[in-house]
Amino acid sequence: MRFQDYDCETFYDEWMAAPGKPRPEASLLVRMLESLPAGELQRRQLAAERAFLVMGITFAVYGHRDGAEKVWPFDLLPRLVIMDEWERIDRGLRQRIQTLNLFLNDIYHTQRIVRDGIIPEEVIRTAKSFRPECIGLRPPAGIWAHITGTDLVRDRDGKMYVLEDNLRCPSGVSYVLENRQVMKRTFPQVFQASRVLPVDDYPSRLLDTLQFVAPMSARNPRVAVLTPGVFNSAYFEHSFLARQMGVELVEGRDLHVDGGRVFMRTTRGLERVDVIYRRIDDDFLDPRVFRPDSMLGVPGLMKAYMEGKVTLVNAPGTGVADDKVVYAYVPKMIKYYLGEEPILPNVPTYLCWEKKDLDYILGHLDELVVKAANESGGYGMLIGPHSTKEQQGEFADKIKAAPRNYIAQPTLGLSRVPTLVDGKLEGRHVDLRPYILYGREIYVQPGGLTRVALKKGSLVVNSSQGGGSKDTWVLPAPPPQAVDGLDVRTPITMGAQ
């Protein structure tokens, strides 16, 4: 496996400072890979894929007939982040999550930020994910978004930007934990020598967070994870987290509201639930309040929540801070609520509903990325440089018809990480989603999920659109250049645990 021919092109490469010149944090891995016998890396890659299949770490593919599951593609070569940079990311994320929670609390109460003219009233009123049902709500400890997965990207200039705040039901953290298990087994010596910061305590921290926000009346709070069921694409993660926390995994039909309290139907009758980590969208939570046709939710759940009998995590209504137009105002929010400068910048964002921006957007559709304000998963998106004239025309019409529903950003040259492609190493674009928990304190999981666009040249990293994942190593310092007694060629046998 040679790095000689590895081409960084015009992008920022997370491993290589220049062709043939690894960054200090990557040099141990580069040396290890270069010393592997031909075919060895592919062999380990296959073993890792087999391990995922046997462990059943799969996601359901929508639109396929029942039982269709895929292993989410995983690439063995990790993304590396050195501690100095990580500390800044960590501080930036804390600042951001604190701000967003202050914003949510404000927006469902006095709307000070609107009255002070920082955010136009219209932006809030027209956000699809704003829930008037939540006005006046006081969630325990004043926390609305307990679990966040913020998407970060690095542009050509090497600078990190916040691309999206995912405040609804961000998924993927189970892959962080499982990828790490597989990596430890695949590259044990290098892993150990690198002193990678651990991610494994996420489930116990998650449980702490959930129990911390239980209703005051619950002495020994009982937690449950609420899933839409086995056919949901993230079902594996739901069951994984429930298992890791040792709590019940429930579906809507397992829950029952009686006398204002929420119960699970068990073999011994009804048992109370105090905290629900819900992995279903607001819309489906409670057919009495939101979509009446929802079969996934629990009638009466919202009432029990509003009365403080049960805690929902994240709180309903947090999606408003996820709206891509609201996103554009986050830097202003940080200044407004905390009086601080944003540590992590936003990607510059043009708002279609502002006349000046709109004209610019329509004139530059071939350069910009256009996103629907309220979509996720890579759906409803136009990537200008990769689009046809017809697609641009289509989007121009859509934008003009509903300017509030779209935003545009410059097309970033996302940074790349070496990736194993057909037996060779090639750069592939990545983003980074660290997970943040907000309970008694704020916890930022060191690293997070690195998603990688496996198609050559593609910038879309979503699992539904041909993306895969990588482990993310936060390194306290660049690892030593060599490791005593390290025979990096030792084959490692892998299989199910």
Chain contacts with another protein (rule: CB under 8 A): 53-56, 67, 225, 229-230, 235-236, 239-240, 242-243, 247-251, 253-254, 256, 258, 263-271, 496-497
Strand partners, 20: none
The least distance separating another protein from the CB of residue 483, rounded to whole angstroms, comes to: 31
Output 31 or 272, the one with its CB closest to another protein: 272
Paired residues of 151 in beta bridges: 164
H/E run at residue 70: strand 69-71
Residues sharing a CB contact under 8 Å with residue 203, sequence separation 6 or more, in sequence order: 177, 241, 244, 245
Kindly tell me which of 119 and 176 has the beta carbon lying closer to another protein: 176
Judged by beta carbon, residue 32 or residue 176, the one nearer another protein is: 176
Cβ within 8 Å of residue 461, ≥6 positions away: 378, 429, 430, 431, 451, 452, 453, 467
Minimum separation from the CB atom of position 165 to another protein (A)? 29
Nearer residue to another protein within complex by CB, 182 or 370: 182
- C-beta of 270: minimal distance to another protein in Å? 5
In angstroms, the CA 394 to CA 371 distance is 13
Residue 200 beta carbon to another protein: minimum distance, rounded to whole angstroms? 15
Toward another protein, which CB reaches closer, 123 or 234?
Answer: 234
According to DSSP H, which parts of 421-482 are helical? none
Q: How do strand 248-250 and strand 223-226 relate by DSSP bridges?
A: parallel
**Shortest gap between Cβ of 54 and another protein (angstroms)?**
5
Instruction: Identify which of residues 227 and 405 has a Cβ nearer to another protein in the complex.
Output: 227
Backbone φ and ψ of 278, nearest 5°: -95, 130
Measured CA to CA, the distance from residue 127 to residue 329 in angstroms comes to 13
Residue 336's contacts (CB-CB under 8 Å, 6 or more residues apart) are 113, 116, 118
Task: Identify which of residues 225 and 326 has a Cβ nearer to another protein in the complex.
Answer: 225
CB of 215 to another protein, least distance (A): 18
Cβ burial, residue 66 (10 Å; 0-12/13-18/19+): exposed
Give the nearest distance from C-beta 272 to another protein in angstroms: 8
